[in-house]
Amino acid sequence: MTSAGNAAGADKGAAVRLEQVSFSYGETPFLFDVEFAASKITAIMGPSGSGKSTLLNLVAGFETPRSGRVMIGDADVGTEPPSARPVSMVFQENNLFAHLSVERNVGLGRLPSLRLTEADHAAVAEALERVGLAGKEQRLPRELSGGERQRVALARVLVRDRPVLLLDEPFASLGPALRDDMLDLLAGVHAERGMTVLFVTHQPEDARHIGQNMVFLDNGTVAATGVAADFFGRSGPEAFQRYLGAGPFGDGSRDVARKRT
């Protein structure tokens, strides 16, 4: 996959670098030293509790490192509040304000005050069209399906138009066919915009579907990095192969060869 679909968006992303970033939750230590290439989709995998969400939270600014630097492009953002970072984030659930319409939920990405200009309204309409939600602008989140709610979250990302997009298992609650649709939508948006995407997933097939690069976490640190095609080949990192064999919960419950239904 390339970002060549839109020359204007091709260099849009910024590299994300965690330089010897240490952090802890009580007795649980983390140490991250890793670079996410600009304008690429990097899938982040690892056993439950290995620190995937923690890593995203450090990049987003919801957590602060004890030491080390969080770099986005050339800027050290380690002390910036989340709102000042050039980042958008989509979670598995609870991305939307329940009492606000689809249109207003997306508009928030443009302007938290929701005092939108004509141009802002046009951008919201265009984003909703792009994610296939034209005509549903006035609905409340509870009047949408799970997949549609995640489309609203993606539309908000589009109007925010930040160089870095963090996705924490955004499609985990969706069935396989819908998940594939959402991955295709995400890949399309990435091809147009060229933002840097960090995509946390438990699903090897999702990582293979859209991941260009891979980062594998284990026990609070980066155990392996590389190009996705190499990771999933026979000569992929041993720790990753073991993880795939055991399944993310260490019980063999999932397998790389698992077929979509």
- Residues found near ligand ATP in the complex (CB under 6 A): 25-26, 28, 46, 48-54
Distances (CA, A) of 103 to 36, 134, 177: 32, 10, 26
Please give the single-letter amino acid code of residue 227: V
What is the smallest separation between the CB atom of 159 and ligand ATP, expressed in angstroms?
Answer: 27
| Spatial distance between the Cα atoms of 239 and 27, rounded to a whole number of angstroms | 24
> Is 144 strand, coil or helix?
coil
Q: Degrees (nearest 5) of the Cα angle 136, 138, 143? A: 70
Is the Cβ of residue 50 or residue 196 nearer to ligand ATP in the bound state?
Answer: 50
What is the smallest separation between the CB atom of 139 and ligand ATP, expressed in angstroms?
Answer: 30
| Spatial distance between the Cα atoms of 96 and 128, rounded to a whole number of angstroms | 14
The position carrying tokens 């990302």 is 157
Q: In which order are the strands placed within the sheet that holds 221-227?
A: 75-76, 67-72, 16-25, 28-36, 221-227, 213-218, 41-45, 196-200, 164-168, 87-90
What is the smallest separation between the CB atom of 63 and ligand ATP, expressed in angstroms?
Answer: 8
Torsion over CA: 149, 184, 88, 51 (sign): positive
Is the Cβ of residue 125 or residue 246 nearer to ligand ATP in the bound state?
Answer: 246
What is the smallest separation between the CB atom of 21 and ligand ATP, expressed in angstroms?
Answer: 13
Largest CA distance in the chain: 54
Is the Cβ of residue 25 or residue 97 nearer to ligand ATP in the bound state?
Answer: 25
Is the Cβ of residue 53 or residue 105 nearer to ligand ATP in the bound state?
Answer: 53
Torsion over CA: 76, 194, 11, 123 (sign): negative
Is the Cβ of residue 105 or residue 213 nearer to ligand ATP in the bound state?
Answer: 213
Is the Cβ of residue 49 or residue 176 nearer to ligand ATP in the bound state?
Answer: 49
What is the smallest separation between the CB atom of 123 and ligand ATP, expressed in angstroms?
Answer: 32
Closest by CA position to 42, among listed 207, 183, 198, 188: 198
Q: Are strands 196-200 and 41-45 parallel, antiparallel or unpaired?
A: parallel
Is the Cβ of residue 99 or residue 242 nearer to ligand ATP in the bound state?
Answer: 242
What is the smallest separation between the CB atom of 18 and ligand ATP, expressed in angstroms?
Answer: 14
The position carrying tokens 């910024």 is 14
What is the smallest separation between the CB atom of 51 and ligand ATP, expressed in angstroms?
Answer: 4
